[in-house]
Structure 1
């Protein structure tokens, strides 16, 4: 499953014995934040090489249970060593220098992987995606690539999240037969299992926040356009965005600063909850989630916030327009991307043919969405244009009008129901989700751990209007500090 891991581990295993077989770093890696790590790096009590080796060791020993990492960068230790040299010379490039990061495998990395989970993309790209270039300039250690729901979960109406033809099935690290949600399933599960300090996911509608909620981590879906989409396998450029996934809000803010080119650490200013007005979009229906939401409201009120119950209008009409618009955009945007990839099929129709002939691709579920996209009209079609305009305008109104009418700072909602059992016959079993208004509007949305239903994590999401990325991160950080809801997974069978 990880074709490049053996070469990297060979380098690890021929290193000096004390470093090659670490008994641990002397601190809790799950709890450590990037600022914690940077303090140790600056003090000389930790090196990026040692940190990277520890994450590689965890990928080798822990990931067989989770199956979140699809490929490891063969130059990971070289990147870490270069970071250590910069730091010794007083030339560290910032807080991400020397920090290991995993990338969802629909993000181009030159020379390896970059499959979107599909066996049809077997020839890697020759250049990095723009966001990868930004990470390398910041000195981050690009550790490798994570599994995903193939083609960003837009192949079948009966798909199972976390499965791809290339990577197989990713498991939820809290309870292994439960689902990690998609499509950034590998990124969410990998961060939860401490297989990297942070990861990058992508979202069209829910694919960062849902795996963040179900895997008990933080995930930010930024404002559309803040992070470059160049070199990312698209579903719809009208909604797609990459974003950070992390165990701690501070780490998500630091990674977002690199991805977006603007410092998001202002999000960490304390005291934001006192006097704040927060709208609660309850989405009741699961008793366990209802209890987590009720406790979350108590946390906010104890910290001085006023919580107002709200209902977001237009949701049925948004849903009716969004899906057919995405089908048109998927065909147009993916075929444009495929023309940049050597050896790849050039059309959706040719992908349909490839999958029919392949022994793996259709082994778990079909390709009904691909087949529908073959006959989709072009982006100049009047019907499509009306659908997109309707979906986007109503999604923006649903958020903007509720914020204004109730004088709110942000809106909070449950991110997810407890993770369902992975079941290829039944497919995904979503009970609730709050991602659509912000996703279709292009507005920022951040999920943060809020509690558990049994052993399964539940998150709450904070979202607001255009370019309110720092604001929603600020509320997520304040909630995280007050709630202290996250705990490490136990990999239960």
Structure 2
């Protein structure tokens, strides 16, 4: 019989969901033990990285209740009693706030759970707290620093606080799980906001196909690209969580497209042997700006995939994407409409009920709220909010046609590929985001050197290898990512002491 560990706070480090479930099932630890250990680690380490915005005051009681339920009725499934953090733009109808990092919504209590939160509760997860994030999911200011919010301050990368890039906008979700402050977290992405911080923090991140996971109850940017998704330390954990999040939600019509194409259990696709039949394309055009250290990580990943039996098609071209000047008009137009709809549903006590109210609130409290300005909010407010403008319609059509039929789908079909390979958040996440297609990133290597960008960010540190596929190809992407992960095991935890 394995005895209960004396120092659970240290014992939980890097433990995956399967190991924790086994320990709870055998009575070695309880969900309450896990929650207490996470809270202890947050108190001990989060002052260095500022990743957790607030703790759920009911988390311990939730864990106790789930422990009692396990004893009386058995486990609900793999997430029973598992502590999970949620990004601060995901509604929870409890004692926690949902603010997207803004002062304007700092006291806002959601009138009901988001679909994502409700699914996690039903699966038996403990909603441990809210993770800090880039304010308004980095759709506020063109000079906003990734990981900063006026409500929560700046999130730092645990692998090099103050030195390494954190990634955004799910920065707190990434930093907290990298530092083992919870078992996993839920992030959200419009374009790169799961993939970027997952890559920069040696995590697995999945941005699902638009329609696989409901967006109801999530503070929005754009219904064309937004999605919630798991951020975890292993592909297996991310796959388990993804299954818990899926389902049709009448409040989000996009989920109707998932009927017959979604799964409640993605762990069935943890098949490392799939690499022996996988066909993966190498879009070298998108590697042209990589420095020597990061390019070496990509080349090593390609060698590993070849060694494991994958067929590598190198290079492949996406000519229309490569010669396209992308714009961001879909986001600018949809943000006003979507945010106004969300804010209109908040209680009267909340001080803002429209984008115009948010801008006015920020101006009123400019010293605290406008460290980086709000030019993006102002530009979005200039639109009609009706989504009838020709500029918007043309931009949306262009995004879909070029990223899908003249982009990802074109090259996958032309070469009979299962996926494309990119480094971290370099172009691939944005290309997939415009298409509404899935992306998965997995730890790929550590760049010991890097270059400094114009805004002072360094490219060194953890790097993810990212796989992009067509719509609802999550099963295939999970197989490829799992095979690569098992062959490499690049992840290691940060040193926090």
Q: If the length of structure 1 is used for normalisation, what is the TM-score?
A: 0.89
Contact 1:319–1:391 (8 Å) recurs in 2: no
Contact 1:68–1:189 (8 Å) recurs in 2: yes
* Separation in structure 2 between the aligned mates of residue 317 and residue 100 of structure 1, nearest angstrom: 45
* Separation in structure 1 between the aligned mates of residue 121 and residue 323 of structure 2, nearest angstrom: 42
* Separation in structure 1 between the aligned mates of residue 194 and residue 483 of structure 2, nearest angstrom: 20
Contact 1:229–1:240 (8 Å) recurs in 2: yes
What's the offset of the Cα at 1:320? 2.5
* Separation in structure 2 between the aligned mates of residue 345 and residue 311 of structure 1, nearest angstrom: 47
Aligned residues: 457
Per the alignment, residue 312 of structure 1 pairs with 318
Aligned partner (choices 80, 83, 97) of residue 113 of structure 1: 97
SS of the counterpart of 2:495? Answer: coil
Q: Does 1:341 align with 2:325?
A: no
Aligned partner (choices 427, 430, 436) of residue 430 of structure 2: 436
Aligned partner (choices 282, 295, 303) of residue 298 of structure 1: 303
* Separation in structure 2 between the aligned mates of residue 405 and residue 315 of structure 1, nearest angstrom: 15
* Cα shift readout 1:46-95 (whole Å, capped 9, x = no counterpart): 11110111001011101110100001001101111111112112421100
SS of the counterpart of 1:55? Answer: helix
* Separation in structure 2 between the aligned mates of residue 34 and residue 278 of structure 1, nearest angstrom: 29
Contact 2:278–2:480 (8 Å) recurs in 1: no
What's the offset of the Cα at 1:317? 6.7
Unpaired segments of 5 or more residues in structure 2?
A: 248-263, 449-459
Instruction: Tell me: CA distance 1:306–1:469, structure 2 relative to 1, closer, same or farther (3 Å).
Output: same
What's the offset of the Cα at 1:30? 3.1
Aligned partner (choices 420, 434, 438) of residue 411 of structure 1: 420
Per the alignment, residue 7 of structure 1 pairs with none
Unpaired segments of 5 or more residues in structure 1?
A: 1-18, 417-431
Contact 1:162–1:179 (8 Å) recurs in 2: no
* Separation in structure 1 between the aligned mates of residue 123 and residue 420 of structure 2, nearest angstrom: 33
Per the alignment, residue 33 of structure 1 pairs with 16
Give the root-mean-square deviation of aligned CA atoms.
1.8
* Separation in structure 1 between the aligned mates of residue 375 and residue 296 of structure 2, nearest angstrom: 37
Aligned partner (choices 180, 186, 189) of residue 203 of structure 1: 189
Aligned partner (choices 120, 124, 138) of residue 153 of structure 1: 138
Per the alignment, residue 359 of structure 2 pairs with 352
* Separation in structure 2 between the aligned mates of residue 346 and residue 212 of structure 1, nearest angstrom: 32
Q: Does 1:471 align with 2:465?
A: no
Instruction: Tell me: CA distance 1:316–1:119, structure 2 relative to 1, closer, same or farther (3 Å).
Output: farther
Instruction: Tell me: CA distance 1:340–1:145, structure 2 relative to 1, closer, same or farther (3 Å).
Output: same
Q: If the length of structure 2 is used for normalisation, what is the TM-score?
A: 0.89
Instruction: Tell me: CA distance 1:319–1:104, structure 2 relative to 1, closer, same or farther (3 Å).
Output: farther
Contact 1:165–1:360 (8 Å) recurs in 2: no
Contact 1:219–1:245 (8 Å) recurs in 2: yes
Instruction: Tell me: CA distance 1:263–1:50, structure 2 relative to 1, closer, same or farther (3 Å).
Output: same
Contact 2:203–2:491 (8 Å) recurs in 1: yes
Per the alignment, residue 216 of structure 1 pairs with 202
Instruction: Tell me: CA distance 1:279–1:356, structure 2 relative to 1, closer, same or farther (3 Å).
Output: same
Aligned partner (choices 48, 54, 78) of residue 61 of structure 2: 78
What's the offset of the Cα at 1:123? 2.3
Instruction: Tell me: CA distance 1:316–1:303, structure 2 relative to 1, closer, same or farther (3 Å).
Output: closer
What's the offset of the Cα at 1:281? 2.4
Contact 1:210–1:433 (8 Å) recurs in 2: no
* Separation in structure 2 between the aligned mates of residue 59 and residue 26 of structure 1, nearest angstrom: 10
What's the offset of the Cα at 1:359? 4.4
| 1:41-190 map, 5 Å | 41-110=24-93, 111-121=95-105, 122-177=107-162, 178-190=164-176
Contact 2:63–2:126 (8 Å) recurs in 1: yes
